[in-house]
Amino acid sequence: MHCPVEEKRGEWIDSCFVWLLHAFRDTALREKPILTPTPEHFPVDFTVLEESAYDVLEILGPQMDLDPDDIEIDPYQEAMTELRTGPALNARVFLKQVDHEKYSAGHYRGKEEDGKFHIGVEIKTLSVPEKLVAVIAHELAHLKLLGEGRLRENNEPLTDLCTVVFGLGIFGANSAFRMYNAAYSWGYNKTGYLTQMDWGYALALWVHVRHEDEPVWVKHLTQNIRHDFKISTQFIKENPENIMKPLLPKDEAESPAS
């Protein structure tokens, strides 16, 4: 069975997991529940937008050993991604993201003068529940890595992987690449810094670390992610001697290069 990620990429993800397990060695990561996009884990009214973001924060804070009262959410508006054609056609045109231009769904802003950590959430993200959870989880991972002094320099892909070890990987994985098809429009949305193959392998690796066997939460993954997850799981089972073998960095505060 082949691995969905190239060998060097797989080794890099392995090294990130080794680093994360060491960086959070005083945290019971393996015992944390895997949260799923269900009312059981997120009893949130997502139609209330900004209020729902704070409701999500109330759930993700304890999951990541953070106090929600120490965190503020600042909504902001990113580049325009939608135009209306006017009364003649009465349709919407969705603008494709320019390949060389990075649009953000969230920002980590650090601790500000009010003594709280601030994270920005792009306004359109507030209306997409699974993406909202993924974005807030990612920004809180920044707080765990940068805000709590585990990293000196930002590392976005490692930050995405940090959400996996805190039981929140489903949301980032499902938001990584999504197609949409409406009455007058179609296209895709991309979120995060990992490919769907990266996510599939990372989730399979976390199952390996937790010694799980056919976890029920896999059914909540999108079809593409679930496919890569299953291939990765089989690859790991067939090659256990080659998994997560890289040594820790000499400097514990230095993360693996992306």
The 3-state secondary structure of the chain reads: CCCCCCHHHHHHHHHHHHHHHHHCCCCCHHHCCCCCCCCCCCCCCHHHCHHHHHHHHHHHHHHCCCCHHHEEEEEECCCCCEEECCCCCCCEEECCCCCCCCCCCEEEEEECCCCCEEEEEEHHHHHCHHHHHHHHHHHHHHHHHHHCCCCCCCCHHHHHHHHHHCCCHHHHHHHCEEEEECCCCEEEEECCCCCHHHHHHHHHHHHHHHCCCCCHHHHHCCHHHHHHHHHHHHHHHHCHHHCCCCCCCCCCCCCCCC
Q: What is the mean pLDDT of residues 133-145?
A: 97
pLDDT value of position 93:
45
For residue 50, name the pLDDT band (cuts at 50, 70, 90).
Answer: confident
Q: What is the mean pLDDT of residues 220-239?
A: 95
11-25, 46-60, 183-197: which range is least confident on average?
Answer: 183-197
For residue 86, name the pLDDT band (cuts at 50, 70, 90).
Answer: very low
pLDDT value of position 193:
83
pLDDT value of position 68:
98
Q: Do 180 and 187 meet the contact criterion of CB atoms below 8 Å apart?
A: yes
Do strands 117-122 and 71-76 pair parallel, antiparallel, or not at all (unpaired)?
Answer: parallel
Closest CA to 215 of 21, 33, 37: 33
Q: Do 124 and 110 meet the contact criterion of CB atoms below 8 Å apart?
A: no
pLDDT value of position 177:
63
pLDDT > 60? residue 69? yes
Q: Do 138 and 164 meet the contact criterion of CB atoms below 8 Å apart?
A: no
pLDDT > 70? residue 180? no
d(Cα 161, Cα 17) in Å, to the nearest integer? 8
